[in-house]
Amino acid sequence: MKPKMLGRNLSDPHHAADRACAGLNTEVFFPDTITEAAEAVEICVQCPLLTRCAEWAARAGVTDGVFASVWVPGLGASTQDKNTARARLALVAATGLPYVEPSQEVA
């Protein structure tokens, strides 16, 4: 018996040719601070694979980097910061919209 198709592609999007980060310097996606993450976030916002990336990152339990517009802190971060990042990835996956820091929202 064949397994049922999920209807969504939850494979790692970082091998897909149409990702917005294709061919870019990967260092941009591994900033030391959330402030330095802005460049990567702007790239993710334009990515056609944003939702897939958020779903994959949430399932993979990624740490330390920018995925689907969300800065995920490293393993040494507080539990609260890790949980916040997980919640933001889930929000992006559920809505298909990039995560925008409240300070970056347009009034």
User: Min. distance of Cβ 52 from ligand SF4 in angstroms?
Assistant: 8
Q: Which of 37, 47, 72, 93 forms a contact with ligand SF4 (CB under 6 A)? A: 47
Contact status: 53 vs ligand SF4 (CB under 6 A): yes
Tell me which of 28, 37, 44, 62 binds ligand SF4, using CB under 6 A: 44
CA–CA distance from 106 to each of 21, 79, 101 (Å)?
Answer: 25, 30, 10
Assess 68 for contact with ligand SF4 (CB under 6 A): yes
Residue 85 found at the interface with ligand SF4 (CB under 6 A)? no
20 binds ligand SF4 (CB under 6 A): yes
